[in-house]
Amino acid sequence: MERPAGAATTPGADRPRADVRVRVLPRPVIRFRSSRPDLLLCLGLLTVILAVQGWNITHFPTLSDDEGTYLAQAWAVQQGEGLAHYTYWYDHPPLGWIQIAGLTYLPSVIAPESMTVATMRFAMLAVSAACAVLLYVLARRLFLPRWSAALAMALFGLSPLSVVLQREIFLDNLAVMWMLLAFCLAASPSRHLWHHFAAGLVGAVSVLTKETMLVVLPALLVTMWRHSHRDTRKFAVTGAITACVLIGLSYPLYALLNNELFPGPGHVSLIDGITYQMGREGSGFILDAGSGSHGVLQSWLYYDRVLPLGGVAGALLLLSTLRWSVTARALAGPALAVAILTVVAMRPSGYLPAMYVIQALPFLALVLAGAAASVVHAVLHRRLPARGSSPAPRTAFGRILRDRAVRRTPAPGVAPPGAPDAARSRALTHLPRRALVGVLALAAAVLLTPRWIDGNRDALTLDANAPYRAAAGWLQEEIADPASTRVLVDDALWLDLVHDGFTPGTGAIWFYKADLDPAVTKTMPRGWRDIDYVVSSPTVRRDAVDLPNVKAALQHSTPVAVFGRGEDRIEIRRITGGTTGGAR
């Protein structure tokens, strides 16, 4: 707004000079694609992030059974075998590995033998790149300064915890990408209704990729509410919720059309899948030193303490200063997301998987960078009231004038009196504050950099998957007739055996299915005796306790090859005393 020269003022107020105009400037709209400094900064950071995450990606971390499961299910989609390489039992919505199938389609066509867990990790670099760019865009749309947006992107992409987890083929990484896109749409500076409808739709896609993202949807609505136009806010939120619900209902509708919504004899059901997931044995309270959840927390903090702990502290700071801080109000949605995810992780009886933190990583980075920006702004720009000055404004208009930038510009051809002296005085006043900020930033860099270098050293140098490669090579070279050989194996090696000629499903057998899948157990009338080999990996040895056929196979077998040592060793064990050649 502008007040024309010579306008009347209330008694007692400072009367404006006739040659000075007062203009209240709104916050600038950030157009990422047309901002050359933002593009260059984001591109530079992205190059560094991809280099760090891509280096040694096939060798570290150790291949996990979850990665193998999702990739094997994606392979089944590519081959037209259905939604899974075995019976699809609604353990997760299938949209996640359908996306993985799309990401790995071209490599699987060019070199089918490369469709293995280690090499297909390179597909996750595209997901990491998209997440990093979306986080930078979101930070700028939430009015964070350029340096703070860059800090959020660096925290998210270069934290040792992120480097390890974002390399792996997890549904959580894909779900985070879609949720960040939904937040970007919700905070769109254009405020078009279709952006908000699209935010609800994309939020539903995120949930259908990994259902645990459902708890972040309230934070998405908060962001949309705060950044939508007040005249269309109700329409925007209503449309977003409607779009989200309609897309989300497609999953139970699919189950209903397949007569698999409700439990019944002879078929799987969505209700059974949900019951299983909700009824999983809890891992204990996260702060109880003897609980499994505490062990998971320690594994996160082993790689990085700054991002998890600093992010939670940043969220608490922002949520506690909502009334006074413009930055806190802009970041209310991401701060709420961190709070919700933290509360869910601290459930005393809940189950806490190691990949759970992936969902929180972008929001932790964003609120930590936002908290830093809020503190820096308070240090550099907070004005101390002069003696005899008026108190802080209490009216809404006064708060607007305080929160937004107020610029006094002279009328054309008129220079404000004392301008050089005033500028020099402000510079001298801000010099100690800037020095303080510089010292704090340097101290943070000195503290953080060595820790991150140590944390990333393993990811960049170690070869944790040599035993898996050696085991796959042995099975390829030493088994003369793979088509008629039956091997119990974890899913991390399942695709390797399929490419080597073992029969998918009943020749190369995912070890769980030997006890839990009727379609497989009926081909094993003599149980473990119908198996030729079992590949004993850490996952197989850990879970065999509750799987009678697998446990018996391990007990009635002798090792013929051992790769690695200690708990991480891979043993290839030949069944002894059995009768091979069960029904295929």
Q: CA of 512: how far to CAs of 63, 313, 341, 505, 539, in Å?
A: 17, 41, 31, 11, 11
Query: Is 563 in a helix, a strand, or coil?
Result: strand
Q: Which amino acid belongs to residue 225?
A: W
Give the pTM: 0.86
Only one residue has tokens 């879970």, namely 543
**What's the pLDDT at 23?**
44
**What's the pLDDT at 583?**
46
CB-based contact 77:97 (threshold 8 Å): yes
* Predicted confidence (pLDDT) per residue in 222-267, tens digit: 999 999 988 899 999 999 999 999 999 999 999 999 999 999 998 9
**What's the pLDDT at 190?**
87
CB-based contact 68:226 (threshold 8 Å): no
Return the bridge partners of 488, or none: 509, 534
* Predicted confidence (pLDDT) per residue in 24-45, tens digit: 344 555 666 777 899 999 999 9
Find, among 199, 213, 180, 262, the residue nearest to 93 by Cα: 213
Cβ atoms within 10 A of the Cβ of 285, count? 17
* Distance from C-alpha of 213 to C-alpha of 253, rounded to nearest angstrom: 20
**What's the pLDDT at 30?**
61
* Distance from C-alpha of 186 to C-alpha of 216, rounded to nearest angstrom: 13
**pLDDT band at 18, cuts 50/70/90?**
very low
Does 150 have pLDDT greater than 90? Answer: yes
* Distance from C-alpha of 583 to C-alpha of 524, rounded to nearest angstrom: 7
* Distance from C-alpha of 496 to C-alpha of 392, rounded to nearest angstrom: 69
Helix axes 361-381, 146-158, angle to 10 degrees: 150
CB-based contact 169:67 (threshold 8 Å): yes
**What's the pLDDT at 429?**
55
**pLDDT band at 16, cuts 50/70/90?**
very low
* Predicted confidence (pLDDT) per residue in 48-74, tens digit: 999 999 999 999 999 999 999 999 999
Query: Is 240 in a helix, a strand, or coil?
Result: helix
Question: Structure tokens of 175?
Answer: 């779900």
CB-based contact 45:132 (threshold 8 Å): yes
**What's the pLDDT at 220?**
97
Q: What mean pLDDT is predicted for residues 89-93? A: 94
* Predicted confidence (pLDDT) per residue in 381-415, tens digit: 665 454 444 455 544 444 444 554 444 445 555 55
Provide the CA 17 distance to its chain's centre, in angstroms.
54
- Cα angle 381, 383, 386 (rounded to 5 degrees) comes to 160
Helical (H) or strand (E) element with 137: helix 123-141
CB-based contact 330:143 (threshold 8 Å): yes
**What's the pLDDT at 252?**
96
Return the bridge partners of 99, or none: none
CB-based contact 204:388 (threshold 8 Å): no
- Cα angle 384, 385, 386 (rounded to 5 degrees) comes to 115
Return the bridge partners of 572, or none: 535, 561
Provide the CA 484 distance to its chain's centre, in angstroms.
42
Mean pLDDT rounded to a whole number for the chain = 86
**What's the pLDDT at 424?**
53
**What's the pLDDT at 337?**
97
Does 466 have pLDDT greater than 90? Answer: yes
Listed by start position, the domains of the chain span 32-379, 465-575
**pLDDT band at 215, cuts 50/70/90?**
very high
Q: What mean pLDDT is predicted for residues 443-461? A: 84
Q: CA of 24: how far to CAs of 152, 403, 412, in Å?
A: 29, 10, 18
Query: Is 264 in a helix, a strand, or coil?
Result: strand
* Distance from C-alpha of 368 to C-alpha of 247, rounded to nearest angstrom: 32
Task: Return the HEC string of 64-117.
Answer: CHHHHHHHHHHHHHHCCCCCCCCCCCCCCCCHHHHHHHHHCHHHHHHCHHHCCH
Q: What mean pLDDT is predicted for residues 290-295? A: 92
* Distance from C-alpha of 363 to C-alpha of 356, rounded to nearest angstrom: 13
Return the bridge partners of 22, or none: 408
* Distance from C-alpha of 84 to C-alpha of 97, rounded to nearest angstrom: 9
Cβ atoms within 10 A of the Cβ of 456, count? 23
Sign of CA dihedral 148, 154, 156, 159: negative
* Predicted confidence (pLDDT) per residue in 528-543, tens digit: 999 999 999 999 999 9
**What's the pLDDT at 436?**
64
Question: Structure tokens of 433?
Answer: 């504050």
Q: What mean pLDDT is predicted for residues 314-329? A: 92
